[in-house]
Amino acid sequence: MVGALTDLVVTADLGFVEDTPFLQRILYLWISSFLARLNYYWLWSLSEGLCNAAGLGFCRQDARGRWDALSDYSFFTLELSTNMANFTRNWNKTTSAWLKRLVYYRFSHMRTVLTFLVSALWHGPHPGIFIGFSVWTAVVIADRKVAKLAVHERLPSAAWRFLHMCMSWLTTQLAVGFILTTIHLQSMGPILVFWRSEMVKERELFTTFCFLTFPDLGR
């Protein structure tokens, strides 16, 4: 069962898309994408440990001597993120810092789009890479615009704010699942089957609406 849940290709199976109930597809996507992320986490932990063993990870900014200069992730920061912008900043942090220095800080316009474009080219020339990173870019920009509305602060009670936080976390988890699955599928055929599923349409329509209604390509 665990082996099946780690297989993101199942989400592009036509029989799975047509015969599996909506909520079950959502649950499968959520669990399988989380298990797929665990592969990244343990590899990053391994590389960080090797770098620290070689003395490369010491962080002099802390008087006690921290060894997280080459840390690529914080598990709880990533998995409890309530927006894609925060998730993106904390995903593969050393590569993100490199991309900021190489691209983001060197441009005054379209910095987010150009940074994601360079990252996509660096990852490889596959359709899934470019489609997935395009969606990722749009979701980050949309989340920034939604954040400016300060919906969380305007809610009337702590209960409503907690509910809003939970819903934001859930939509972030699903967005990560959509993007990660699209990237892993790579080829157009499986991607088109996956995108036929109803589980993709709601989030992506909302993202497209925010992206087109509140354009912010200059950041």
Residue 47, domain member (yes or no): yes
Question: Which H or E run includes 108?
Answer: none
Q: Please state the domain count of the chain.
A: 1
Residue 219, domain member (yes or no): no
Task: Supply the range of the domain harboring residue 30.
Answer: 2-213
The yes-or-no verdict on residue 44 having pLDDT over 60 is: yes
Residue 29, domain member (yes or no): yes
Residue 18, domain member (yes or no): yes
Active site residue 123: yes
**Alpha-carbon span 26 to 39, nearest angstrom:** 21
Annotated catalytic residue within 52, 86, 123, 126? 123
pLDDT digits (tens, 9 = 90+) for 146-195: 777 766 677 777 888 888 888 889 989 999 999 999 999 888 888 888 88
Residue 65, domain member (yes or no): yes
**Alpha-carbon span 199 to 203, nearest angstrom:** 8
Residue 218, domain member (yes or no): no
pLDDT digits (tens, 9 = 90+) for 45-88: 888 888 777 777 666 665 666 666 667 888 999 999 988 989 99
Active site residue 109: no
Cβ density class 38-70: b for 16+ within 10 Å, e for less = eeeeeebeeebeebbeeeebeeeeeeeeebebb
pTM: 0.83
The yes-or-no verdict on residue 109 having pLDDT over 80 is: yes
Predicted confidence at residue 4, as pLDDT, reads: 52
Predicted confidence at residue 150, as pLDDT, reads: 64
Placement of tokens 């989340």 in the chain = 143
Residue 113, domain member (yes or no): yes
Annotated catalytic residue within 52, 86, 92, 152? 92
